[in-house]
A and B are shown apart, each in its own frame.
Chain A
Amino acid sequence: MITLLKTLSFAGLALTVVPAILVFTGSIPFEMHTNLMFFGMILWFGTSPFWMKEKEL
């Protein structure tokens, strides 16, 4: 379960930054980057608190 949550979290981070690089290379339009970044945010905050809380602060 933790592995799945971590995978989704890192997918969220990838959706945050990779679309911006694709905008830079001209591969996707700017609007798609903002939409994908939004989904990345949902994924990160929807999954990371469940596995990050197990780490020692």
Chain B
Amino acid sequence: MAKPFLERLDARLDTIDEFEREPVPKKNLKGWRGFLGMYAGEHTAGTEFVIGALFVAHGVSAIDLVLGLILGNLLAVFSWAFLCAPVAVKSRLTLYWQLRKICGDRLALIYNIVNAVMFCFLAGAMITVAATAVGLPFNIPMPGLDDWLPTSVGWIITVFLVGSVITVVAIAGYEYVARFANISFPWMFLVFMAAAIAVLPSLGVQSASDFWPVAKERIWTGVPIDGMTQFTFWHVMFFAWFANMAMHIGMSDMSILRYAEDWKMGFSSAAGMFFGHFLAWIASGILMAAAAGAVAPGVIAFNSAGIAGAICVVIAGWTTANPTIYRAGLAFQSVTPNWKRWKVTLFTGLLTTVIACFPALVMNLLDFVALYGLVLMPMGAVVFLDVMFFDKLKLLKNYAEETGSRFNWAAGLTWFLTLTLCLVINLYAGIEIFFLGLPGWFIAVLLYISLSTLIQRKG
């Protein structure tokens, strides 16, 4: 007798084994192609339409933008290649299971809840961006820079439609996510570029030699729009470096790079940085300047590339939301180990979709991205030191696993004190959130070594 449909679906989805709780076996390691496609797709995303445009709104000058992006993206690639990838290849575990070995299940639980919620907010922003395009043919009113709450019932329905599709793809697993990104990326990137090229004449660029003068005078003018703070070279550089801080310095990409044959595959992140966070951010700045006041990515893309542009925004949102929901699902799964992965991902997708209904997230995306990286960064420093250096420092690695501790106070205090000190620096020294990651990482390193030494010698 045929099994009931839900039972068969459950059995089918349960066969998608992605080694969440064990090191990835050698036969399942992947080569350059998968990572290049994954990074390129993930970082040429719907949010690029927003970030590039917000740089224009913050009054970045053309020269500051170009130099800041080159240096910041280079530093981001180095962070993936020299910090995250060596740890991922050495441990072959997801960040979440590595943290359990180091921090104990109670601290890992707290971290995972914070981490998963952050990822849900980020994926929610991608869904919001995609929904600005899906809502176009139905004349759904689009949120503006000042909107914080859902603007209409139609908007909520649109967001739920987009969120459902993205969640189903995320449930299908890493192979499907990487494949979706691989197929979409070449086309998507060319749409970004083509749309920007096509609107250049409307900005007064008639030949290549006109570009730089127009870039300085009409696109990145160095003057912020009313109510926005002034961004400089340093803002651009640090934002480009730390936009994905949670993933490289924060070690979240251990979940992806644990499949790498070699640590050098961390350099494949350059595909994402220089296509997505350089060319696509520049393209979106041009589109913003040509859009004469429109801020919704779907509207901007439709005006510059027609139906294909609107569909590009939808797909761009998907390719980032998919791996982000996947990562959030992994984080929640370690909180609820008895739940099957597809059920956890379904829950994560639903939570993300609810968050996506609120446009406040997208309209304050730069600040949120900086905050999310900063909050997760100290535990990345903990993992980096524990996996790569604790043997050399004659300290006990995987402290919780070795001692049976359920809460590693050295790691917990490192996290808490680092964020407290960053807050103090922010409040009393007036250092903006975009710059706090750098001193914060060194604070975390010093704290974790000192506290581990103190606690382990005492024990």
Contact = CB atoms under 8 A, between A and B. Distances in A.
B249 interface: no
A57 B191 CA distance: 23
A38 to B, nearest CB: 5
B307 interface: yes
Given A21-B197, A23-B197, A57-B37, A37 B183 contact: no
Interface stretch (B26-34, B104-112, B427-435): B26-34
B183 A48 contact: yes
A50 to B, nearest CB: 10
A42 B245 CA distance: 36
Interface in B169-223: 175, 178-179, 182-183, 186-187, 190-191, 193-195, 197-198, 200-201, 205
B178 A34 contact: no
Contacts of B193: 17, 20
Contact of A23 (B183, B190, B198, B309): B198
Chain A interface size range: 20 to 34
Contacts, number: 83
A45 B201 CA distance: 29
Contact of A55 (B33, B175, B186, B200): B33
B201 A26 contact: yes
A41 B175 contact: no
A20 to B, nearest CB: 4
A40 B201 contact: no
Interface string A18-29: 011101101000
A56 B30 contact: yes
Interface residues of B, number: 28
Which has the most chain B C-beta neighbours within 10 Å: A35, A40, A44, A55? A44
Interface string B4-42: 000000000000000000000000001101100100000
A37 B194 CA distance: 9
Nearest to B31: A56
B175 A20 contact: no
B169 to A, nearest CB: 14
Contact of A20 (B34, B183, B198, B307): B198
Contact of A16 (B178, B187, B307): B187
A57 B33 contact: yes
B404 interface: no
Given A20-B194, A20-B197, A23-B197, 4 more contacts: A20-B193, A33-B198, A34-B307, A40-B308
5 contacts: A16-B308, A17-B194, A38-B307, A45-B183, A56-B33
